Chains A and B, each alone.
Chain A
Amino acid sequence: MLLKGMILTCSSHIQAERTISSIYHLLKGRKSIQTVQDAHIYQLEKFYGVYKSLSKKTFDQNVLELENKQFLQKNASDDLQFKITTAGKGWLNEHKDNLPLNYFNGLKYADTAKCFFERLILLIQTITNSRKNHYSFIPVIDKIAIEDWVRMIYRQAKGSEMQLLKKIYAELYRLLQHFTAQEANIFVDRLTGYKQYGMSLEQLATSYKRETSDIQLLLTGILQAMVAIIQKDIKQYSFLSFTLKDLSPSNSITNSAYATFELLNKGHTVEQIAHIRNLKGNTIQDHIVEIALYDATFPIHSYVSAQAQQEIITAIQQTKSYKLKQIKQYISEEINYFQIRLVLAINHNILQAGDTNA
């Protein structure tokens, strides 16, 4: 249900300007410039990368079900593009209280929240076992980076485990007040302690009579909301905020784009960079668009004249569309797609503010 709610919400933002698989890429958190850019221009940052294990099969099946229920409708001109129907909007509205879509903040917190939870789970397992003098347990999290962090805390807490456990209890107790009783129960049931292993996603699904995909998404949402709450109020959550402290918000710029960025800073042109890195010119242009999305000081004027920028913005406002092809028809022929994309990247915030469609 949650997944369907997300697909419908995304469709209502995108308004059939992108193919349905762009929503799949968005939920999976594909590290491509196109996907990141879509997340920004359609104001879907919150759903970026919230369901990394989503399979294409599950996704397609959900889309098909939505289509069969006539909540989604294929675009007449392109059957890879879908529009939300009035019935679909009605369904979203009807269920909005049961769809905690506002919990999500994927682009910012997907990685942070995941790491936060893994640390918390392994820490609780370690400290409770240590408190019981039981040292041969099988850790549920199997990642060196997480183990190292827990080991560091464990060394400090050794001998005063109860103090730490009480602190964790107090902070989790406060934090869970922000959620429904069922959400809090699901969260707690997932945790592992001394001789008590947490429930699997499937067990939670059976126990709470929900789909497995719902449980997975709900947990992700709860965690991302938790990170936001903790960061807003670090005084109240001194220990939990400590577990987050060294986790920076996801920096979605891809490594390859970063290499291009460094070469740009050294004063190389697109052609030179393409030559140096043995990549196509188009790829380097993709990188530059990605950089433009993240870099507030991006020198747009080196690529697009002020006049051309204005022309593009006017075209966007007139067509009320982010479709490159449509925009291109409204502007002078010498302005190319790369320049349109750059202008879109630079202006996504401004454009969204004035855009009633989104």
Chain B
Amino acid sequence: MHKQNILENKLKKHFNYTFFRVGQKEIISDIMQGKDVLGILPTGSGKSICYQLPAMLLEGVTIVVSPLISLMIDQVKQLKAINYKSVVALNSFMDPMERRRVYRQLHTYKLIYVSPELLQHETLLKALEKIKISLFVIDEAHCISQWGHEFRPDYLKLDATIERFNYPTTLALSATATKHVQTDIINALHKPHISKQIYPMDRANIAFNVQEVQDDQEKIRTITNLLKQYQVPVLIYFSSRKMAENVAVLLSEKVPEKRIAFYHGGMEQMDRIAIQQQFMNDQLDIICCTSAFGMGINKNNIRLIIHYHFPLQIESFIQEIGRAGRDGRESVSLLLMSPNDIHLPVQIIKNELPSENQLIFVFKQLANLYHGEVRLPTQDKQIENLFEINETQWRFLHYQFEKHDMIVQHKIFYQAEQWSEAYQKIKALIKQRSILKEQKLTEMLDWIQQKKCLRHHLYKNFQSNYTDPTAQCCSNCGFSWSAWQPEQTDIERLNATNWEEKLKHLLLIGESNESK
């Protein structure tokens, strides 16, 4: 008991929270006792506290492997903003000079975020071996599973990394892992005795709506009506950057009184921060975005999440709607489905894996390079151009080529028999992965077409039960918009029209109590 109070005091001291949320204390207590933990906590439940607090308390360094660079950078910013300074994010986009400087001082950090790709670099591994690693965290641990929705080949090498660091306490975290994926994580890490801290992911304060519409025009009409009716923070998800941009422009014309912007991974870093923060600050009401938005966003009053396009798997959907209503207040998810939408995901899935023709072409190009005694280009972009494939496809093939000893670093090793065997294996794997992705898609579509309770069927693969909804349940159990009356957010508009006034306001000129 006494010990647990200590943890709460530390939480207050470092993060200014007075109590732990569900699961946090259990996971942290396990870690502090040196136990390996598999933690499955729902989106928005404060997963990161589970390692950020131990990192402060443990002697030595905590390493966090995270697949998303933007997420890493966001977390580092948020930590620095609350004065948690000894933290750094290592990724391949860092300036080389800056990276060398950081490598020399690794021991001075408490928390080091690193991408799985970079964690395979010998220079970094050597530098990390020299320091005391007290906690090794695998964030988004479902990426380790071939059956997970976001398989990342580099995650499979993490067990070797843990061994190299002499088995530090390990924490594998995820928000969305089916039982099957949980087993995969445990097996891939060779940790059969890991402490399992698995918490339900259902969200009692979110009501689910699926609405069938005829076409895009009807989607726009529906959204326009909702936006006119409610003054609340809204996220609208799209499957393509272009559509997010176009609809943002269209909605701005239809609902000029609302402040609408778009956000996707193709924007400049400074602009991405600006849009995120404008939304956090209630300078923006509505964001049209791709799945790139929302990771690590701590806005607790998002009230409405609209899916203009449905995601390719239930797991993504659960994560995206999980950004609504983190303050526990009644919030709504609305998925719009038109007959044409069915064709979109097929193309997206195709683009994620190389086709058979592409595979043949890549093998041919690779053999040409070998016979011309040329190494692989050093830049991924050049390789992608050479092989005429995209980034995701190359990441997949790169791992396969390494696994089959066809390339080591950038050098190509040719052996006719071995290559033809590898070709067959890769071809079979692609087939297998495509089938899996199609299964995931079918699951999602089944859910959308579900006639019975949407809540029940959304979570059935993850947990056996769910909490009763705090307000309305779902469109199949009966949902009425008129019964949803969320508190309207204040809208503070700057009325300055000329730059002189705007500049004055920005620089706080002419405010009362100016003489400081």
Task: Please report A residues at the B interface, Cβ cutoff 8 Å.
Answer: 53, 124, 128, 131-132, 135-142, 144, 159-162, 165-166, 168-169, 172-173, 176, 181, 184-185, 187-189, 191-203, 206
Contacts of B500 in A (CB 8 A): 173
CB pair B268 A201 closer than 8 Å: yes
CB pair A172 B503 closer than 8 Å: yes
**Stretch from B229-237, B344-352, B459-467, B507-515 forming part of the interface with A:** B507-515
The docked-state distance in angstroms from the alpha carbon of A192 to that of B281 is 12
The docked-state distance in angstroms from the alpha carbon of A202 to that of B262 is 9
B252 part of interface (Cβ distance < 8 Å): yes
Given contacts A131-B516, A136-B81, contact A169 B274 (CB under 8 A): no
Given contacts A200-B261, A203-B261, contact A136 B82 (CB under 8 A): yes
The docked-state distance in angstroms from the alpha carbon of A53 to that of B507 is 30
Contacts of B481 in A (CB 8 A): none
Given contacts A138-B273, A140-B273, contact A193 B506 (CB under 8 A): yes
Contacts of A202 in B (CB 8 A): 245, 261-262, 267, 271
The docked-state distance in angstroms from the alpha carbon of A67 to that of B261 is 34
The docked-state distance in angstroms from the alpha carbon of A136 to that of B273 is 15
B249, B281, B494 interface centre (most CB from chain A within 10 Å)? B281
CB pair B277 A138 closer than 8 Å: yes
B504: nearest residue on chain A (CB-CB)?
Answer: A169
Contacts of A53 in B (CB 8 A): 268
CB pair A162 B515 closer than 8 Å: yes
Contacts of B275 in A (CB 8 A): 200, 203
CB pair A196 B283 closer than 8 Å: yes
Given contacts A138-B77, A140-B270, A202-B262, contact A173 B508 (CB under 8 A): no
B502 part of interface (Cβ distance < 8 Å): yes
A-B contact pairs, 22 of them (CB 8 A): A124-B506, A144-B98, A161-B516, A162-B508, A162-B514, A169-B503, A172-B503, A181-B498, A184-B499, A185-B498, A191-B503, A195-B281, A196-B281, A196-B494, A197-B273, A197-B274, A200-B261, A201-B268, A202-B245, A203-B261, A203-B274, A206-B249
Given contacts A139-B77, A201-B271, contact A169 B278 (CB under 8 A): no
A323 to chain B, nearest CB (A): 31
Given contacts A173-B500, A181-B498, A202-B267, contact A188 B81 (CB under 8 A): no
The docked-state distance in angstroms from the alpha carbon of A163 to that of B271 is 29
CB pair B516 A159 closer than 8 Å: yes
Proximity bits, B184-217, A CB within 8 Å = 1, else 0: 0000000000000000000000000000000000
CB pair B271 A200 closer than 8 Å: yes
Given contacts A162-B514, A176-B499, contact A197 B249 (CB under 8 A): no
Contacts of A169 in B (CB 8 A): 503-504, 507, 509
Interface residues of B: mostly helix, strand, loop or mixed? helix
The docked-state distance in angstroms from the alpha carbon of A128 to that of B507 is 6
B225 part of interface (Cβ distance < 8 Å): no
B249: nearest residue on chain A (CB-CB)?
Answer: A206
The docked-state distance in angstroms from the alpha carbon of A194 to that of B245 is 28
CB pair A188 B506 closer than 8 Å: yes
B78 part of interface (Cβ distance < 8 Å): yes
Pick the contact of A197: B77, B78, B262, B278 (CB < 8 A): B278
B268 to chain A, nearest CB (A): 7
Pick the contact of B508: A128, A135, A197 (CB < 8 A): A128
CB pair B77 A142 closer than 8 Å: yes
The docked-state distance in angstroms from the alpha carbon of A132 to that of B505 is 13
The docked-state distance in angstroms from the alpha carbon of A138 to that of B275 is 12
Pick the contact of A142: B73, B245, B262 (CB < 8 A): B73
A52 to chain B, nearest CB (A): 11
B92 to chain A, nearest CB (A): 16
B105 part of interface (Cβ distance < 8 Å): no
CB pair B508 A188 closer than 8 Å: no
B296 to chain A, nearest CB (A): 11
A155 to chain B, nearest CB (A): 16
B81: nearest residue on chain A (CB-CB)?
Answer: A136
The docked-state distance in angstroms from the alpha carbon of A279 to that of B276 is 48
Q: Which of B249-265 contact A (CB under 8 A)?
A: 249, 252, 261-262
CB pair A124 B507 closer than 8 Å: yes
A125 to chain B, nearest CB (A): 10
CB pair A193 B516 closer than 8 Å: no
Contacts of A173 in B (CB 8 A): 500, 503
B78, B245, B273, B503 interface centre (most CB from chain A within 10 Å)? B503
Contacts of A196 in B (CB 8 A): 281, 283, 494, 506
B252 to chain A, nearest CB (A): 7
The docked-state distance in angstroms from the alpha carbon of A70 to that of B511 is 55
The docked-state distance in angstroms from the alpha carbon of A194 to that of B508 is 9
Q: Which of B63-110 contact A (CB under 8 A)?
A: 73, 77-78, 81-83, 98
The docked-state distance in angstroms from the alpha carbon of A203 to that of B494 is 16
CB pair B498 A193 closer than 8 Å: no
CB pair A188 B274 closer than 8 Å: no
Pick the contact of A199: B249, B274, B507 (CB < 8 A): B274
Contacts of B516 in A (CB 8 A): 131, 159-162
CB pair B252 A206 closer than 8 Å: yes
B480 part of interface (Cβ distance < 8 Å): no
Other A-B contacts than A142-B273, A193-B506, A196-B281, 16 sampled, CB-CB below 8 A, are: A128-B506, A135-B81, A141-B270, A142-B77, A160-B516, A162-B514, A165-B508, A176-B503, A185-B502, A188-B503, A189-B502, A197-B281, A200-B261, A200-B267, A200-B268, A203-B274
Contacts of A128 in B (CB 8 A): 506-508
Contacts of B262 in A (CB 8 A): 202
The docked-state distance in angstroms from the alpha carbon of A218 to that of B220 is 34
CB pair B502 A188 closer than 8 Å: yes
Q: Which of B234-250 contact A (CB under 8 A)?
A: 245, 249
The docked-state distance in angstroms from the alpha carbon of A176 to that of B498 is 12
The docked-state distance in angstroms from the alpha carbon of A187 to that of B506 is 12
Q: Which of B269-293 contact A (CB under 8 A)?
A: 269-271, 273-278, 281, 283
Contacts of A165 in B (CB 8 A): 507-509
The docked-state distance in angstroms from the alpha carbon of A131 to that of B511 is 11
The docked-state distance in angstroms from the alpha carbon of A139 to that of B507 is 16
A93 to chain B, nearest CB (A): 30
In the complex, the 10 A-B pairs of residues with the closest C-beta atoms, listed nearest first: A200-B271, A136-B81, A184-B499, A193-B506, A197-B277, A185-B499, A188-B499, A165-B507, A197-B278, A162-B516
B374 to chain A, nearest CB (A): 17
A207: nearest residue on chain B (CB-CB)?
Answer: B252
Contacts of A181 in B (CB 8 A): 498-499
CB pair B508 A131 closer than 8 Å: yes
Contacts of A201 in B (CB 8 A): 268, 271
The docked-state distance in angstroms from the alpha carbon of A185 to that of B514 is 25
CB pair A142 B269 closer than 8 Å: yes
